[in-house]
Amino acid sequence: MPLKTPKEYLDSIKKEVNLYIFGEKVKKFWKHPIIRPSINTVMKIYELAQMKEYKDIMTTTSHLTGDIINRFTHIHQSVDDLIKKVKMLRLLGQQTACCFQRCVGFDTANALYSVTYEMDKKNKTNYHERFIKYWLEVQNQDLMVDGAMTDSKGDRGKRPNNQPDPDAYLHVVDESDDGIVVRGAKIHQTGFLNSHRAIIMPTLSLRKGEEEYAISFGVNTNEKGITQVYGRQSCDTRKMEENKLDIGNFKYGGQEIFVIFEDVFIPNDQIFMKGEIKFSGELVNRFAGFHRQSYGGCKVGVGDVLIGATALIAQYNGVEKASHIKDKLVEMIHLNETIFSCGIACSSLGFKRDAGNYEMDMLLANVCKQNVTRFPYEISRLAEDIAGGIICTMPSEADFNSDEIGPLVKKYLSTCNGVSVENRYKVLRFIENLSLGVAAVSYKTESMHGAGSPQAQRIMIARQAGLEKKIKLIKNILDIK
């Protein structure tokens, strides 16, 4: 059975990579205190997949081999698969309270599966077979794969082929019988460092004359020519301090990487699109659709933990019975479950592509993500409201535990009889972390911009909505010819 244990996963990523953090090269990145929580998060995925109670949700049967595989390497074969994906992501959000990074490659694979099939049908290429061969290795070795889409984009007012710097969009700079050489950068890369492989896609729908940018390929994350620069996040250096409580979520975390490709060679058997401009937009849209569906699970799971933390702090503060507190908690739950409803709805209306795999409903996936660009902000606002301003003004853990000042800090941070002042400190820091610290990257900024910024969904909603049909409806009722 190709299921890696958490330890096997950890051992398998212990490789030399060209990585920088704070301007310095990092060796043994898995030991770095800022990076380690993001690895713990991925290990949790491998851990849950080993557990009997999560078997149905975390694993499934490969349609390619008939083996039991981790669901993160699965190509959806039914509506039930689409629904279980969303439930799995909620579960992982609940268990880690952050971005667990493995969904990007999962969503890329499901988009590429049907797009490569359709390209081959139209152009008599053999991308689909190539991709299946590549993905079989992923399934059989239970590999973590990142999906890389966002280019650095240079001047936003100009097309890729009119940029002052042609590398502003990743492109082919050389070609031989054996493969291609690519140059450019992919930024905001969730989990790239923690992944074994990455699949690169174009950022946008490309036009005639932009063929060199219409490329998709698989690459090892430590391939020669790839440089990774670790993304700076708010309050990240708290992870380097001796005290752990000030971190908030001290076990788990996300990871964002700035990835630079300096003349990286890609052999032919790892290329899944090369110059097919007409299919570039479809690949972008299908990937984005799958990832917008994903947010209907992962952010809901994180929301569950934040709602739990808020209810707990209300108890610790002795205000849990106040009617406005109860009502605010209900509002948080309502918003969170609305996101989940969208995730389940776009999965339930999933359909079968010609390639045989299942895809979510595009309109509802975009509605889902549009809500995600708003509701976590409101949920987080209500959490801050209930927790109180103390989340931003509280002394450090060093003061809290100081022999000199600690007793007085604890005295004045104490609330109700029977409530541990240390537990209250922990929960307040957790809420601070998720609302304003490192974890806010996963819960808020990523909710806003991950899988496309709000306007990208509005464009898709406008395209999918069928406004003309709605106009016909009213004309029918009012006999307007």
The site for ligand SF4 (CB under 6 A) is made up of 99-101, 103-104, 190, 294-295, 298, 446, 450
Strands 145-148, 197-200: pairing is: parallel
Nearer to ligand SF4, 450 or 452 (CB): 450
CB under 5 to 8 A by kind: which of Fe ion, ligand SF4, none does 131 bind? none
Candidates 64, 86, 38; CA nearest to 300 is 86
Active-site residue identified among 291, 310, 368, 443 = 291
* Residues in CB range of 393: below 8 A, 6 or more apart: none
Q: How many CA atoms lie within 13 A of 338 on its CB side?
A: 17
103 is catalytic: yes
CB 117 within 8 A of CB 328: no
Closest distance of CB 148 from ligand SF4, Å = 12
CB under 5 to 8 A by kind: which of ligand SF4, Fe ion, none does 298 bind? ligand SF4
CB 279 within 8 A of CB 118: yes
252 is catalytic: no
Closest distance of CB 146 from ligand SF4, Å = 9
Strands 179-190, 256-267: pairing is: antiparallel
CB under 5 to 8 A by kind: which of ligand SF4, Fe ion, none does 273 bind? none
CB under 5 to 8 A by kind: which of Fe ion, ligand SF4, none does 103 bind? ligand SF4
Nearer to ligand SF4, 130 or 444 (CB): 444
Nearer to ligand SF4, 43 or 386 (CB): 43
Active-site residue identified among 41, 46, 60, 103 = 103
Closest distance of CB 446 from Fe ion, Å = 5
Active-site residue identified among 32, 60, 96, 99 = 99
Nearer to Fe ion, 264 or 451 (CB): 451
Active-site residue identified among 9, 295, 358, 443 = 295
Active-site residue identified among 73, 108, 190, 203 = 190
CB 392 within 8 A of CB 432: yes
CB 47 within 8 A of CB 30: no
Tell me the torsion sign for CA atoms 373, 298, 199, 216: negative
- The neighbouring-strand residues paired with 146 are 198
Q: How many CB atoms lie within 10 A of CB 448?
A: 14
Closest distance of CB 49 from Fe ion, Å = 20
256 is catalytic: yes
Strands 215-220, 24-25: pairing is: unpaired
99 is catalytic: yes
CB under 5 to 8 A by kind: which of ligand SF4, Fe ion, none does 146 bind? none
Query: Cα(93)–Cα(420) distance, rounded to whole angstroms?
Result: 26
Query: Cα(2)–Cα(5) distance, rounded to whole angstroms?
Result: 10
φ, ψ of residue 171 in degrees (nearest 5): -150, 170
CB under 5 to 8 A by kind: which of ligand SF4, Fe ion, none does 100 bind? ligand SF4
Query: Cα(379)–Cα(463) distance, rounded to whole angstroms?
Result: 29
Footprint on this chain of Fe ion (rule: CB under 5 A):
190, 446, 450
Nearer to Fe ion, 93 or 248 (CB): 93
Nearer to ligand SF4, 44 or 274 (CB): 44
CB 148 within 8 A of CB 192: yes
Nearer to ligand SF4, 103 or 214 (CB): 103
* Residues in CB range of 324: below 8 A, 6 or more apart: none
Q: At what angle do helices 362-372 and 454-464 cross, to 10 degrees?
A: 150
Closest distance of CB 454 from ligand SF4, Å = 15
CB under 5 to 8 A by kind: which of ligand SF4, Fe ion, none does 101 bind? ligand SF4
* Residues in CB range of 444: below 8 A, 6 or more apart: 376, 377, 380, 435
Closest distance of CB 201 from ligand SF4, Å = 15
Question: For residue 189, what is the enclosing H or E element?
Answer: strand 179-190
Per the document, the length of the chain is: 481
24 is catalytic: no
Nearer to ligand SF4, 179 or 450 (CB): 450
Closest distance of CB 450 from Fe ion, Å = 3
Closest distance of CB 248 from ligand SF4, Å = 18
Helix (H/G/I), strand (E/B), else coil: 358 = strand
Active-site residue identified among 118, 210, 256, 384 = 256
108 is catalytic: no
Per the listing, tokens 């920088």 go with 20
Residues taking part in catalysis? 99, 103, 190, 256, 291, 295, 298, 446
